[in-house]
Amino acid sequence: MTSRCILQTTLLLYFSTMALAMSNDLLRSQLSSSSLECQELLLQLNGTTEYCLKDRINFEIPEEIEKSRQFQKEDIILITHEMFQKIFDIFRRNISRTGWNETTVENLLVKLHWQKEHLEIILEDVKEKENFTWDNRTLLHLKKYYLRIVQYLKAKEYSICAWTIVQAEICRNFFFLNILTDYLQN
Amino acid sequence: MVWNQNASLVRPQNLYLVVCISFVFGVSSAFPDLSDKFCTFKVTFRNFRLILSWELKNHSVVPDRYTLRYTVISRPDQVKIVEHCSNTTASSCDLTDVWEVLPETYSIRVDGFRGNTTLVQCSSYLFLVTHMSLEPPEFDIVGFTDHINVLVKFPPVIPKILGGGVLKFYLSLIIEEQSGNIVKKHNPELNENITGNFTYVIDKLLPNTNYCVSVYFKPRNLGAVHRSPVKCILLQPGQETESSESAKIGGIITMFVIAAVIVITIIILKRVGYICLRNHFPKVLNFYNFSTWVFPEMPPLETVAFVEVIHVNRKKKVWDYNYDDESDSNDDTATPQTNAGGYTMHGLVGRLLGPASASSATPEDCMEPDAEEPDPSEPDTDIDTEPLVPSGPSPGQSEGTSGAYECRGKQLQDPITEEDSWSTGGSGDKITFNVNLSSVFMRVLDDDLEVPPGLPSFPEETYNLQESHRLETSSLAANGEGTQPLFPTPSAECQWPEDVLSDESDSSESDVDIGDGYIMR
């Protein structure tokens, strides 16, 4: 009886480990695929012209994101969720003056929303874990960063040049997102 | 005035047209395909060098020199002139040491001059990650017997644009190995601090086989893949014995490993309880007695003797369900017949009783040793059962003992039908069969006697019921099917009162001389 329990426990641990490894790889590939698709949709929108150079601004993306610092798996999920959430909120704003294809924008919002929801589910499981300390500092920097973007759009009255500058900035966001998701593999 | 009115009408329309055209041109200039109305830009990563090239759409306009300017979008930096691409005659510019950030949107502008006249101005913007075309690196291959060394040429210093972990993330080196229709891809991991040439070994190849190798970079943004020209080589023929032996050994080891893994997995799953294996095979798969099937055992040799059994035809009596003692005793007891040889014969018991006939046996019936004449008026529907008994009560013989024979005789039915007609001494209706000597009475034939051979008789001495059981198993049974025990076991339905039994018999000896030359076994 004891040997049988030991065998069952061993099998359970083995397959759980395999399942966790497979789930990390699955999440990584899913996030990478989502960010690439969003990036492609973003680039389909009409971009900057030479006349918009005067509207450029440095939004100061957090250094830990730009330098691709290694995070724990739970922090990566939290950060990526925050990024998808904020990007979704930005592109829900007034884009009437851009002349962008509304179908392309709608597809972008759908993909952003789906990925955000998926990460929320995973995040709830992560929050139930005990003895885990979140990287609140990085999260605070991210919130301030996206607030600056929103305030810039409001200040420029959602002009086409402002949206073009924001479009270029969000393209960088997706690149750093891809680097972050790569750390889930390890 | 009319012209003025017409002019006033035309001007808004013209203005509207100009605005529309300007809007269209303004939008078209922002297309992300690096396509300007005058120029087409292209960014190429060739031999780890970042090359920006442009081409004028209007070939009739050919500037003699160009000047390249650029700036970034993420910061409000000044527009910069690329010094080594200023007043250049080439329609391309090496920006490896100029552009240092890969995830950046660059705004570029190229001015074409002829003399002091600006012939063309081309501007565009590009997000470098998605617009950079990765060309394959240069490589060489060296073939051996069973492996190929692929030498990929890397620069001594990696460009800054691929620094900071970007190289490992953004560039994925793929080495394709093709032999016939089989294509294998190898993805060697690139080190962050890689310098100089990079050597990768493709091993486990077949000697004396032609292999073709191709190398390319696979971009992270799943952009277009540019493969290098294929380089092919024929491997040297190796020693077949070594390779074949090693292949055989490897194959055998692999087979053993696979079988062991499968067996261990099944054992583990069985012990855990996930699968249940049958322990009891169907009867058809029971091969325990397989040898018996193939080589059936010969019947044990036994001493046999030929015995003649002479049947006595008896009329069948129908029991009228009358429990009267006289009628029962008269009905159930057969009249002994005397043959020419002086033996008293009764009908032999051939088979076991059925339920009906067994219930008819009572202790009172067992107590009646007297024989009776069969009633000729009664129809012979029942089979008569008559034991072999002595001709008459002998001195010292208890009634119960002889009655025991008779009673047991009642419990058994003679399977011989009434149709059978036998003569007591006739030779025409004789049955010859093999008899187990250990179950019959043996008598040495004497010339003076005229007794038919094989005709046993019961002992005149009395003995108890337990000893009679032995006699039962050794009595002859006459029927057409062979030998059968004459009497059933004492567990028959007829329960004997103990006072009927006699203890005068000698029951301790296995062989009892029952007189008249017969030996009881």
| ipTM of predicted complex | 0.86
Say which CATH architecture domain B136-234 belongs to: Sandwich (2.60)
The one-letter code for the residue type at A172 is R
Helices A73-91 and A136-155: angle between axes, nearest 10 degrees? 10
Model pLDDT, residue B209: 92
Give the pair of three-digit tokens for residue B324: 């009267």
Instruction: Check B165 against A68: CB less than 8 A apart.
Output: yes
Give the pair of three-digit tokens for residue B284: 């058809």
Query: Which of B37, B124, B127 would you mutate first to test chain A, the one with the most A CBs within 10 A?
Result: B127
Model pLDDT, residue B6: 46
Instruction: Check A46 against B31: CB less than 8 A apart.
Output: yes
Give dist(CA A111, CA B103) in Å, integer: 22
Q: Collapsing DSSP states into helix, strand and coil, what is residue B183?
A: strand
Contact A56/B at CB under 8 A: yes
Greater pLDDT, A169 or B306 = A169
Instruction: Check A58 against B169: CB less than 8 A apart.
Output: no
Confidence check: pLDDT of A59 > 80: yes
Domain boundaries, given as residue ranges, for chain B: 34-132, 136-234
DSSP-assigned letter for residue B489:
-
Chain A positions in Cβ-Cβ contact with residue B125 (cut-off 8 Å): 47-48, 168
Query: If you compute the radius of gyration of chain B from its CA atoms, what whole number of angstroms results?
Result: 60
Which among B26, B103, B272 has the least Cβ separation from residue A7?
A: B272
Give dist(CA A59, CA B275) in Å, integer: 62
In this structure, the number of other CB atoms found within 10 A of the CB of residue B407 comes to 26
- Cα distance between the two ends of chain B: 162
Contact B71/A at CB under 8 A: yes
**% chain A with pLDDT above 90:** 46
Q: Which long-range contacts (CB under 8 A, 24 or more apart) does B114-123 make?
A: B114/B62, B114/B63, B114/B64, B114/B65, B115/B64, B119/B61, B119/B63, B120/B38, B120/B39, B120/B56, B120/B58, B120/B61, B120/B63, B121/B38, B122/B36, B122/B38, B122/B39, B122/B41, B122/B54, B122/B56, B123/A50, B123/B29, B123/B36
- Residue linked to tokens 């993909």: A111
Task: Give the domain range for residue A116.
Answer: 2-185
Instruction: Check B222 against A36: CB less than 8 A apart.
Output: yes
Banded model confidence at residue A136, pLDDT cuts 50, 70, 90: confident
**Closest-CA residue to B159 (of B132, B203, B194):** B194
Q: B170 vs chain A: nearest CA distance in angstroms? A: 9
Contact B285/A at CB under 8 A: no
Give dist(CA B506, CA B511) in Å, integer: 10
Helix (H) or strand (E) holding A107: helix A102-127
Give the pair of three-digit tokens for residue B199: 């050597």
Model pLDDT, residue B516: 54
Give one DSSP letter per residue of B356-391, joined into a string. Answer: HHHHT--HHHHT--------TTS---SPP------S
Query: Which of A33, A37, A49, A180 would you mutate first to test chain B, the one with the most B CBs within 10 A?
Result: A49
Pairing of strands B39-46, B132-134: parallel
Specify the CATH number for the domain of residue A24. Answer: 1.20.1250.10
Give dist(CA B135, CA B309) in Å, integer: 113
Instruction: Check B125 against A48: CB less than 8 A apart.
Output: yes
Environment class of B395 (CB within 10 Å of its CB; exposed 0-12, middle 13-18, buried 19+): exposed
Give the pair of three-digit tokens for residue B76: 């409000």
Contact A53/B at CB under 8 A: yes
Model pLDDT, residue B198: 87
Give dist(CA A136, CA B309) in Å, integer: 114
Which among A7, A56, A68 has the least Cβ separation from residue B73?
A: A56
User: In chain A, how many domains are there?
Assistant: 1
Chain A positions in Cβ-Cβ contact with residue B26 (cut-off 8 Å): 49
Instruction: Check B123 against A48: CB less than 8 A apart.
Output: no
- Residue linked to tokens 């087979």: B255
Give the pair of three-digit tokens for residue B129: 């990650």
Banded model confidence at residue A29, pLDDT cuts 50, 70, 90: confident
Contact A2/B at CB under 8 A: no
Cβ atoms of B501 and B464 closer than 8 Å: yes
Q: A125 vs chain B: nearest CA distance in angstroms? A: 29
Model pLDDT, residue B263: 94
Instruction: Check B30 against A164: CB less than 8 A apart.
Output: yes
Cβ atoms of A92 and A108 closer than 8 Å: no
Cβ atoms of B74 and A169 closer than 8 Å: yes
Query: Which of A175, A178, A179, A186 would you mutate first to test chain B, the one with the most B CBs within 10 A?
Result: A175
Contact A11/B at CB under 8 A: yes
Chain A positions in Cβ-Cβ contact with residue B221 (cut-off 8 Å): 36, 39
Query: Which of B35, B74, B169 would you mutate first to test chain A, the one with the most A CBs within 10 A?
Result: B74
Instruction: Check A168 against B222: CB less than 8 A apart.
Output: no
- Residue linked to tokens 């039915």: B413
Query: Which of B33, B79, B105, B168 would you mutate first to test chain A, the one with the most A CBs within 10 A?
Result: B105
Angle at CA of residue B32, ends B31 and B36, nearest 5°: 55
Give dist(CA B520, CA B440) in Å, integer: 8
Which among B26, B73, B272 has the least Cβ separation from residue A165?
A: B73
Chain B positions in Cβ-Cβ contact with residue A59 (cut-off 8 Å): 74
Which among A43, A50, A182 has the least Cβ separation from residue B127?
A: A43
Instruction: Check A58 against B271: CB less than 8 A apart.
Output: no
Contact A12/B at CB under 8 A: no
Q: A156 vs chain B: nearest CA distance in angstroms? A: 16
Instruction: Check B103 against A176: CB less than 8 A apart.
Output: yes
The answer as to CATH 3.20.20.70 being correct for domain B34-132 is: no
Contact A164/B at CB under 8 A: yes
Environment class of B89 (CB within 10 Å of its CB; exposed 0-12, middle 13-18, buried 19+): exposed
Chain B positions in Cβ-Cβ contact with residue A165 (cut-off 8 Å): 73
Cα separation values, B190 from A44, A69, A176, B148, B332, Å:
32, 19, 20, 19, 113
- Residue linked to tokens 């900035």: A169
Cα separation values, B31 from B16, B306, B467, Å:
23, 120, 122
DSSP-assigned letter for residue B75:
S
Which among B29, B76, B164 has the least Cβ separation from residue A57?
A: B76
The low-confidence residues of chain B, meaning pLDDT below 70, are 1-36, 222, 239-244, 278-281, 286-306, 311-312, 314-318, 320, 322-431, 433, 439-521
Cα separation values, B226 from B22, B188, B219, B222, B417, Å:
38, 18, 10, 12, 106
DSSP-assigned letter for residue A185:
G
Confidence check: pLDDT of A176 > 80: yes
Give dist(CA A56, CA A48) in Å, integer: 10
Q: B13 vs chain A: nearest CA distance in angstroms? A: 23
Cβ atoms of B113 and B63 closer than 8 Å: yes
Contact A186/B at CB under 8 A: no
Give dist(CA B510, CA B516) in Å, integer: 18
